[in-house]
């Protein structure tokens, strides 16, 4: 019995490692070859468009662009595995250092946004599903449709105009007012945590005031998706016989909704929340641009406009690794919430 369990664990571990390796190779390969097929010349990004032909040729060879594409990819993969994503032309810093610097800002923004999306979207979806065809359902559906239809950059600009420009309820663009820059020691890169650790509550409040508007706007788009999917899952479960049986046995309607139907939608909800979170971590480009939020999306956008392909490739690989990590976390959570998978 113990040998069977050990064998199953070894097979699962081998399958997991093989899947992880193949996914990583596929991710880096697709990212690399797409980067090489773009019309952006990485040599010009380094030497400039006024460089002589001799300088251009030297840089061309130094970057390894004279080698076959497959050889270039193998060399690039070796560097990536050693943590070397190259130098950024835009910042003159190692790309890995830039990613370590900008990713916490995106993580902070996306995390608060997904908290808002989950905290509001799930109850709203449950309410809409439980009251299908009634006014709560119509309100949630219209709010979700609005969230899908309105461009995020437009909503960001409108939010800045009213809540910052007119009402003064929140702070403007950026992560902090200039007055508070470089006061808090960077430990995690997340200003809310770093300022709280040092007891700098003025900085904490200022950082939260900058964060709440872009996080709410991103959270609203996440909320729309989560609420719609929760509603669909709930409607499907409420039509099942076990809910009717619970009601016949004397369970209240809302007791059946939350005590019987809701636990059965947790597993598919994990996928929905995971995908939403991953999308927020990599898809906040427009929001970060509107709010001048110094995160990963803004970094990749600026790198792309400046032909900084090392930065673009490094950022894209990081985004892919985030998706891989969240998918793995979702698989683990499946086994926590679904007893049928615990022995699989």
pLDDT value, residue 119? 93
Nearest-5° angle of CA 275, CA 278, CA 280?
A: 110
Average pLDDT over residues 71-78: 83
Residue 316 φ then ψ, to 5°: -65, -40
pLDDT for the residue numbered 292 = 86
In whole angstroms, give the CA distance from residue 63 to residue 44. Answer: 12
Measured CA angle at 148 (ends 147, 151), to 5 deg = 85
pLDDT, average across residues 112-139: 91
Q: Express each pLDDT in 168-222 by its tens digit.
A: 888 888 888 888 777 888 888 888 888 888 888 888 999 899 999 999 998 888 8
Largest separation between any pair of C-alpha atoms in the chain: 86
- Alpha carbon 317 to chain centroid distance? 13
Indicate whether this model's pTM tops 0.85. no
- CATH 1.10.3720.10 given to domain 95-341: yes
Task: Quote the pLDDT of residue 4.
Answer: 60
CA distance 203 to 155: 27
pLDDT band at 227 (very low <50, low <70, confident <90, very high): very high
pLDDT tens-digit series, residues 13-55? 777 677 777 877 887 888 778 777 776 666 766 666 676 777 7
Helices vs. strands in the chain: H and E counts, helices first? 15, 0
The predicted structure's pLDDT at residue 156: 86
- Express each pLDDT in 295-339 by its tens digit: 888 888 888 777 777 888 888 888 888 877 887 777 777 666 665
Chain mean pLDDT for the chain: 82
Burial class of residue 109 in the structure, from the number of CB atoms within 10 Å of its CB (0-12 exposed, 13-18 middle, 19+ buried): buried
When computed from its CA atoms, the radius of gyration of the chain, rounded to whole angstroms, is 24
Position 340 pLDDT exceeds 70: no
Q: Which residues contact 308 (CB under 8 A, 6 or more apart)?
A: 45, 88, 89, 90, 302
pLDDT over 90 at 116, yes or no: yes
What confidence score (pLDDT) does residue 209 get? 92
């Amino acid at each position: 019995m113990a040998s069977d369990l050990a064998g199953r664990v070894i097979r699962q571990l081998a399958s997991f490692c093989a899947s992880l390796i193949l996914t990583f190779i596929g991710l880096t390969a697709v990212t690399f070859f797409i980067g090489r097929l773009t019309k952006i010349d990485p040599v010009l990004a380094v030497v400039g468009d006024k460089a002589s032909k001799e300088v251009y040729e030297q840089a061309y060879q130094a970057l390894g662009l004279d080698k076959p594409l497959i050889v270039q990819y193998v060399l690039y993969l070796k560097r990536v595995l050693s943590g070397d994503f190259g130098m950024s032309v835009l910042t003159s810093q190692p790309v890995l250092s830039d990613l370590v610097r900008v990713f916490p800002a995106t993580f902070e923004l996306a995390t608060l946004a997904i908290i808002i999306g989950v905290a509001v979207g799930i109850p709203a979806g449950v309410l809409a599903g439980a009251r299908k065809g009634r006014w709560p359902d119509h309100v949630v559906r219209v709010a979700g449709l609005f969230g899908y239809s309105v461009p995020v950059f437009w909503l960001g600009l409108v939010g800045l105009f009213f809540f910052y420009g007119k009402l003064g309820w929140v702070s403007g663009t950026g992560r902090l007012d200039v007055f508070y820059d470089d006061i808090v020691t960077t430990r995690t890169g997340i200003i809310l945590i770093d300022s709280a650790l040092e007891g700098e509550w003025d900085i904490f409040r200022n950082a939260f005031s900058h964060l709440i508007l872009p996080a709410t706007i991103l959270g609203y788009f996440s909320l729309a998706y989560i609420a719609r999917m929760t509603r669909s899952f709930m409607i499907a479960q409420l039509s099942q016989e076990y809910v009717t049986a619970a009601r016949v046995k004397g369970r209240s309607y809302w007791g059946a909704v939350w005590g019987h139907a809701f636990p059965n939608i947790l597993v598919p909800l994990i996928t929905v929340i995971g995908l939403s979170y991953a999308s927020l971590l990599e898809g906040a480009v427009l929001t970060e641009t509107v709010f001048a939020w110094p995160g990963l999306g803004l970094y990749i956008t600026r790198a792309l406009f400046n032909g900084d392909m090392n930065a673009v490739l490094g950022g894209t690989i990081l985004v892919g690794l985030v998706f891989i990590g969240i998918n793995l976390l979702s698989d683990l959570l499946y086994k926590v919430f679904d007893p049928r998978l615990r022995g699989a």
